[in-house]
Amino acid sequence: MFLGKLNKFTWRLKFAYYYFDESGDPRILGHHGKNLLQEGSVSKTFSVGYVEISNPHQLLVDLEKLRKELMEDEYLQAVPSMRNLKNGFHANKDCAEVKEKVFKLLKKSDFEAYIIVARKNESVFRRKFNMSDKKLYKFLVAELLKNRLHLYSEIDIYFSEMGNVVSVNNMTEALNDAIAKFQQKWGKENNGKIRVFLQQPSHLPLLQVIDYVLWTVFRVYEKNDFRYFNFIREKIKLVHDIFDVQSNQFYGTFYTEKKPLEQKNWSPISG
């Protein structure tokens, strides 16, 4: 754990790195207002998450070492997806043998993951975001970070590029919203230094880590499959199911170490 037991408003570690990505499709409507969600042609959720790392060097070295070993593995040479490995790992495309190696590496690595899940509902998305992907993404980032930005004196935040939805301006606005929400709730200002960067996952391997972590949560919500999530669950410190109105119509459900994301605690999505 990176957090200590000192006063959470005054104690700061010096530096941290956050690596952001998303999973699922934010769309609900298609051409001529067709509801893609009802016809089952898009994901039932859209999630945003990040991994928090204080010293990324070792994990970068380990990922690159594993990637090179797998690229040179004679047993895997004939697997078509191995061609994509030259650009890095991708949970949705990597073959089972690659996934196994990556998950075992992640399990022993030093990072924490925080994720927010938006169950897709046309009336909610229309009312809150006017069906705008940019507004949705900005809102999820702000909600996820509103209690996390004061913890460090300096934070470098890397976002995975996503068309015009993830821009420096939009993400800076999200961070400002997060800081404002924290100040409004606790009356504390955040004077830390925060830098925002946009990158392609192929250019920044630690974005591939959050891709893998998000994929495990995606499997839970979309496939009712807890296998991969359970394997690295100790790394995932928060899953905020923000629109789970069955639990709480205002805040949704917070899955943490005290209330883990498990079959018995979780409300599956119909459809």
Cβ atoms of 156 and 129 within 8 Å: the answer is no
What is residue 191's predicted lDDT score, i.e. its pLDDT?
85
Asked if residue 264 is part of any domain, the answer here is: no
Q: 180-196 in b/e burial notation, b at 16+ Cβ within 10 A?
A: ebbeeeeeeebebebeb
- The per-residue pLDDT of the chain, averaged, comes to 92
| Environment class of 32 (CB within 10 Å of its CB; exposed 0-12, middle 13-18, buried 19+) | exposed
32 pLDDT band, cuts 50/70/90, is confident
Asked if residue 4 is part of any domain, the answer here is: no
9 pLDDT band, cuts 50/70/90, is very low
Supply the CATH number for residue 225's domain.
3.30.420.10
Q: What is the pLDDT of residues 59-118, one digit of tens each?
A: 999 999 999 999 999 999 999 999 999 999 999 999 999 999 999 999 999 999 999 999
Domain, as residue range, for 143: 13-255
Specify the number of domains making up the chain.
Answer: 1
**Per-residue pLDDT averaged across 31-45, rounded?**
91
**Per-residue pLDDT averaged across 176-203, rounded?**
92
Asked if residue 134 is part of any domain, the answer here is: yes
Q: Is the pLDDT of residue 27 over 90?
A: yes
What is residue 4's predicted lDDT score, i.e. its pLDDT?
33
Q: Which residues contact 17 (CB under 8 A, 6 or more apart)?
A: 52, 53, 54, 56, 155, 156, 157, 158, 206
**Quick one: tokens of 242?**
């923000």
Asked if residue 6 is part of any domain, the answer here is: no
Asked if residue 265 is part of any domain, the answer here is: no
Q: What is the pLDDT of residues 216-248, one digit of tens each?
A: 999 999 999 999 999 999 999 999 999 997 766
Angle (nearest 5°) at CA 165 between 160 and 169: 90
12 pLDDT band, cuts 50/70/90, is low
**Quick one: tokens of 111?**
């990072």
Q: What is the pLDDT of residues 133-182, one digit of tens each?
A: 999 999 999 999 999 999 999 999 999 988 889 999 999 999 999 999 99
Strand order in the sheet with 193-199: 193-199, 152-160, 13-24, 45-53, 112-119, 236-241, 253-255
Let me know how long the chain is.
271
Asked if residue 260 is part of any domain, the answer here is: no
Task: Output 214 or 40, whichever has higher pLDDT.
Answer: 214
Which pTM does this prediction carry?
Answer: 0.92
**Quick one: tokens of 1?**
């754990």
Reduced to 3 states, what is the DSSP secondary structure of residue 247?
A: coil
What is residue 7's predicted lDDT score, i.e. its pLDDT?
40
